[in-house]
Copies of this chain bind each other. A is one copy, B any other.
Amino acid sequence: MPRPRNRGEALEIDQSGPLASAPPRPPEDWPAENLAAQYDAIRHVTEALCEPLAIEDYVVQSMPDASPVKWHLAHTAWFFETFVLARYLPGYQPFHPLFGFLFNSYYEAAGPRWSRPQRGLLSRPTVAEVYRYRAHVDRHMDELFGPHHAAELRRAASTVILGLHHEQQHQELILTDLKHAWSANPMHPVYKEALADDSSLPATRRAFFPEGLVLIGHDGDGFGFDNEFPRHRVFLKEFELATGLVTNAQYLAFMADGGYRRPELWLSDGWAVVQARNWDAPLYWEQDGEQWFAITLSGRRPLVAGQPVCHVSYYEADAFARWAGARLPSEAEWETAAAIGTLAGNFLDSGRFHPACSPSADDRGPCHQMYGDVWQWTASPYVGYPGYQPPRGALGEYNGKFMCNQFVLRGASCVTPRSHARRTYRNFFPADARWQFTGLRLAYDPK
């Protein structure tokens, strides 16, 4: 099925290129014989994404929250080395004694680590050495996938799968951080030429959802991160959801109406950020005379009115919604809407749906643009679900320790690997983060 063409910023990344070679969503029981193929495919995508880069592009770090491409490449190798090879492949020797220190991201249990804001200070190891590191890890993973280590692989399998999803997260981050690094460069490098925007989307309307107890969270069928569990009941009041995303044109109207100058539209923290950082438009937007431009991975380009607004913070999404007489959806509301048509029985009382949201297949659900354009801010602070338990050991730091001062984003963006997106996925960022591909969808209280 062809993906809709209208994605954020005029098809920043043609995912039918490198990302399309990523594996489809792993089946419930990842057969061991498939794991090697999945591994090869996903690891290959990561390197294919870097093909347009010069050596210099791998090195720079444009802010503490972003990382150099070189670091992403090495860190994802480190993940397999540390959590898979060192634990499960007998006799494995680390590639370099310092790499465990240099490429640990934030795992306290995995020992000390190089300071995050200083990742851009390291000219060595060189890019070539990092690729050798990856090759070294890949060779040993091959060995683990081989006939002599079936028992080890069985024990390692769930961590290997986690490592692949982790690698996919960093595929998105490579492009996200590269875009940020390049955005500061007046030479406006181009990652890939933009495609023509031949999309036509249905007009946005409101889909109605009745009140009731819903089941939220991963059902255990296929891979899910720890924070998607446990599946649990939530009581929802009736609500409405916009069928499409907020567009650049709508956001320009908010700006023209003084959106960035009216404190009554903003959370107190948000207003403080607007003033301290002199925000007056989404990240990467620049005005030239009357025309607005956006820095994209295809260079600096005129803003397209009908495309989803992107690179807005939670504060901006929240202020826009207030201005529009709406609000942001909760993550339970978003997930409920996403479930319609794809998962029978999601609603405990499914008999009461409004005709407008009768269950239908994926892209024929009540709402569109759920995945593949922009991550969508929800009104839900990122906390554990009732009964949430992090995994034991170092991997317990994967999601649980960030459950504070962040907001949940749902959906998936135009740089998310397609096989990485799912209905129960909980992305999360602080309220002031804008360098991710983030936009919004409006929700309403009926009446």
A179–B120 CA distance with the chains assembled, in angstroms: 16
Say yes or no for A98: interface residue by CB 8 A criterion: yes
B268 lies within 8 A of A401 (CB): yes
A118 to B61, CA, bound (A): 10
The verdict on A256 contacting chain B, using a C-beta distance below 8 Å, is no
Most buried by B among A123, A396, A397, A403: A123
Known contacts A187-B125, A401-B266; A386 and B60 CB within 8 A of each other: no
Chain B residue contacts of A154, Cβ below 8 A: none
- Do residues B60 and A185 form an inter-chain contact, with CB atoms below 8 A? no
- CB contact list, A241-292 vs B, under 8 A: 263-264, 266-271
Asked if A124 is at the interface of the complex by the 8 Å CB criterion, the answer is yes
CB contacts (< 8 Å) of A405 on chain B: these are: 269, 405, 431
Give min CB distance, A213 to chain B, whole Å.
Answer: 6
* Contact indicator B185/A123 (Cβ below 8 Å): yes
Within 8 A of B (CB), among A105-137: 106, 108-109, 114, 118, 120-127
CA distance A70 to B396 in the complex (A): 42
Which B residues touch A123, using CB under 8 A?
A: 54, 56-57, 59-60, 181-182, 185, 189
- Say which residue of B61, B108, B263, B269 sits within 8 Å of A264 (CB atoms): B108
> Which stretch in A17-25, A41-49, A231-239 binds the other chain?
A231-239
Assembly CA distance A380 to B404 (angstroms): 10
Do B404 and A101 touch (CB < 8 A)?
A: no
- A186 near B126 (CB under 8 angstroms)? no
Bound Cα distance A213, B405 (Å): 27
Q: Cα distance A120–B185 when bound, in Å?
A: 11
Cβ distance A364 to chain B, nearest Cβ, rounded Å? 29
Contacts of A38 in B (CB 8 A): none
A381 proximal to B (CB < 8 A): yes
A379 interface hit (Cβ, 8 Å)? yes
Interface size for chain A: under 10, 10 to 19, 20 to 34, or 35 or more residues? 35 or more
In the complex, A440 has a CB within 8 A of chain B:
no
* List of B residues within 8 angstroms of A263 by Cβ: 108-109
A38–chain B nearest beta-carbon distance, Å: 30
Taking the complex as formed, is A184 at the interface, i.e. its CB lies under 8 A from any CB of chain B? Answer: yes
Question: A445 at interface (Cβ–Cβ under 8 A)?
Answer: yes
User: Taking CB as reference atom, which chain B residue is nearest A379?
Assistant: B383
What's the nearest-Cβ distance from chain B to residue A188, in Å?
A: 9
Residue of B nearest to A239 (CB): B386
Query: Does A102 belong to the interface (CB within 8 Å)?
Result: yes
Nearest chain B CB to A409 CB, angstrom units: 15
Name the one of B57, B101, B264 contacting A109, with C-beta atoms under 8 angstroms: B264
Q: Answer yes or no: A402 CB below 8 A from chain B CBs.
A: yes
Verify A124–B189 contact, CB threshold 8 A. yes
A346 contacts the other chain (CB 8 A): no
List of B residues within 8 angstroms of A109 by Cβ: 263-264
Please give the residue numbers on chain A whose beta carbons come within 8 Å of chain B beta carbons, in ascending order.
Answer: 54-62, 70, 98, 101-102, 106, 108-109, 114, 118, 120-127, 181-182, 184-187, 189, 213, 232-237, 263-264, 266-271, 314-315, 318, 330, 379-381, 383, 386-387, 396-397, 401-405, 431, 445
5 pairs of A and B residues whose beta carbons are closest in the complex? A381-B381, A108-B263, A56-B123, A268-B401, A55-B55
14 A–B contacts, CB within 8 A, in A order: A54-B124, A55-B126, A56-B70, A56-B127, A60-B120, A60-B122, A102-B186, A122-B184, A123-B182, A123-B189, A234-B235, A267-B404, A270-B404, A379-B383
Given A108-B264, A270-B404, list of 14 further CB < 8 A pairs? A54-B123, A55-B126, A56-B124, A98-B186, A108-B263, A121-B184, A122-B185, A122-B187, A123-B182, A124-B182, A267-B403, A269-B405, A330-B386, A405-B405
